[in-house]
């Protein structure tokens, strides 16, 4: 068993310093501290994504919908679902991505491998 005391883990630099807690074929766990006014601009990932708000409040936007989310909120996203996360006063979030890496995550490497296989 492995465990982490999430409130005790430092995330200096906010969104510029995500902390990868675990990474394996089954999934990846990433802790992100967002400083006041920071955001994870609109983006998507190739994996299924579970976002848990641990501290503070965030605004999550996806598919034209917005959610004001506080501690204890869990939001899920399908692979390739575009979304953004922002905070006015700071927050701490946990991201769980599964599986890791998702199909197409390393597009350039996959294209190179496909090209090599065709030779």
* Domain annotation covers residue 6: no
Q: Which structural domain range is residue 110 located in?
A: 17-118
Which two tokens mark 73?
């909120």
**pLDDT at 13 (0 to 100):** 83
pLDDT by residue, tens only, the chain of 119 residues: 999 999 999 998 887 889 999 999 999 999 999 999 999 999 999 999 999 999 999 999 999 999 999 999 999 999 999 999 999 999 999 999 998 877 787 765 555 555 566 66
**pLDDT at 15 (0 to 100):** 79
* Domain annotation covers residue 10: no
Global pTM?
0.84
* Domain annotation covers residue 97: yes
* CA pseudo-torsion sign 75, 96, 3, 35: negative
Count how many domains the chain has.
1
**pLDDT at 91 (0 to 100):** 96
Rounded CA-CA distance 22/113 in Å is 26
* Domain annotation covers residue 11: no
* Domain annotation covers residue 73: yes
* Domain annotation covers residue 56: yes
* Domain annotation covers residue 12: no
* Domain annotation covers residue 1: no
14 bridge partner residues: none
Q: What is the CATH number of the domain that holds 43?
A: 2.60.120.10
**pLDDT at 14 (0 to 100):** 82
24 bridge partner residues: 27
Q: What is the CA 37 to chain-centroid distance, rounded?
A: 18
Residue 53 vs residues 60, 99, 106: alpha-carbon distances, Å: 10, 21, 27
Residue 47, Cβ density class (10 Å: 0-12 exposed, 13-18 middle, ≥19 buried): buried
């Amino acid at each position: 068993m492995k465990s982490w005391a999430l409130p005790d883990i430092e995330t200096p630099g906010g969104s510029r310093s995500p902390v990868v807690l675990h990474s394996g074929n089954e999934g990846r766990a990433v802790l992100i501290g967002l400083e006041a006014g920071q955001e994870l601009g609109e983006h998507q990932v190739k994996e299924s994504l579970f976002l848990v708000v641990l501290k503070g409040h965030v605004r999550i936007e996806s598919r034209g919908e917005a959610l004001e989310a506080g501690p204890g909120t869990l939001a899920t996203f399908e692979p390739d679902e575009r979304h953004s996360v922002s905070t006015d006063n700071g927050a701490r979030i946990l991201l769980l991505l599964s599986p890791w890496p998702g199909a197409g995550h390393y597009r350039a490497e996959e294209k190179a491998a496909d090209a090599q296989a065709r030779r």
